[in-house]
Amino acid sequence: MEGLSKDYIKEYLNNKTAIAKFKEGIEKILSKNDTEITKLYVIIDELDRCRPTYAVELLERIKHLLDIKGLVFVLALDKLQLSHSIKAIYGSEFDSLGYLRRFIDIEYTLPRVELNDFIDEQYNHFGFTDFFQKRKSYSAFQNESSTLKNTFKLLADAKQLSLREIEQLFARINLVILSTEENVHLYPVLLVFLILAKDHDINLYNTYMNEDSPPNIMIEFLYKIIPENIRVNSHECHLIEGFIIGAKYDEYKNKQGNTLLEHEKIVNNPNIDIKIKRYSESIIKIASSFSGFRNEISLSSLKERIDMSESFKFQSNEC
């Protein structure tokens, strides 16, 4: 124990000496003369995304340098998320926000990025406009561009996706697009929804993709994330549910289950609100449009392209 204590003391003294020398060197660099101090800004980004132990150790090291005149640390972080990381180390009852106040003198909250503007920017960044422009020579693909973008905006808002999640979903969609020939159906509405569903719950996705399963479970997921008052008034929701059901029809088997029957009951019920009736009428019309060999959706082909995109690893930049 005596030897171990000496080692710890020696390490502490060495660290203390190293910090003192480092501070002395920084002070010399920042001091132009006796009256003027040069500013040095050190920007630390995404500290909240690092391992809790790493984040706390870094903060403790910064603390020793806060008294250097002219040295300013700018911490770009999610304060609430970082507080959770600190509690993971010190316990759920620990005053993590109070702990952070020891290091932060001034706080500034960045305004929230407008979701639609960010999606528009990502849409252009990945070159989707050019891709869909080339496909407009085919009459069946005329509205693909707008439906993909509007569907993405609807679902991103419904799921309250972060900017990083939006960026990564765009990257996955881009991989599917790159693997799709110019004259092949992409079904952008179904594509966006299925990628989001897979990201949310892989078991949900696999169950739906099973050729023998009805679409009920995926429709329940749609209803869960988008309330009825929004759903019945959204053209994209009409398309999503219609495609979810229509994709389960082929020339030899009908795996639509009781979904269309339920919508038919709503249409024929005189006590149902007119907007809900029109929604059900629209679903029946869209889903029924795939009831033929030439019109059927190839779920297996779509699944291959989606699963292929999942083979690529998207980095989270965690420490």
* Pair (23, 127) in one structural domain: no
Judgement on whether residues 121 and 216 belong to the same structural domain of the protein: yes
Question: What does the pLDDT read at residue 312?
Answer: 65
Structure tokens at 307: 């699963």
Amino acid found at 5: S
Same domain, 187 and 97: no
- HSE of 153 in the Cβ direction (CA atoms, 13 Å)? 19
pLDDT of residue 211: 81
Residue 37 lies in a domain: yes
Domain range for 93: 2-101
What pLDDT shows up at residue 156? 93
Which portions of the chain are predicted below pLDDT 70?
1-9, 12, 32-35, 250-253, 292-295, 311-319
Pick from 50, 79, 101: which residue ends a domain? Answer: 101
What's the pLDDT at 34?
Answer: 63
End-to-end CA distance of the chain: 34
pTM beyond 0.85: no
In whole angstroms, what is the distance from residue 114 CA to residue 93 CA? 35
Whether 142 and 69 map to the same domain: the answer is: no
71-103 pLDDT, tens per residue? 899 999 888 888 988 898 888 889 988 888 888
Do 135 and 272 share a structural domain?
Answer: yes
In a domain, 315, yes or no: no
**Tens of pLDDT, residues 101-159:** 888 888 998 888 888 999 999 999 998 988 898 898 888 888 899 999 999 999 999 99
State how many domains the chain has: 2
The answer on 90 and 139 residing in a single domain is: no
Closest CA to 242 of 313, 203, 295, 183: 295
Among the three residues 101, 133, 168, which one is the final residue of a domain in this structure?
A: 101
**Pairwise CA distance, residues 77 & 63, whole Å:** 17
> What gap in Å lies between CA 113 and CA 144, rounded to an integer?
26
pLDDT attached to residue 300 = 85
- Same domain? 267 vs 142: yes
User: Do the beta carbons of residue 191 and residue 170 sit within 8 Å?
Assistant: no
pLDDT at 285: 93
Residue 319 lies in a domain: no
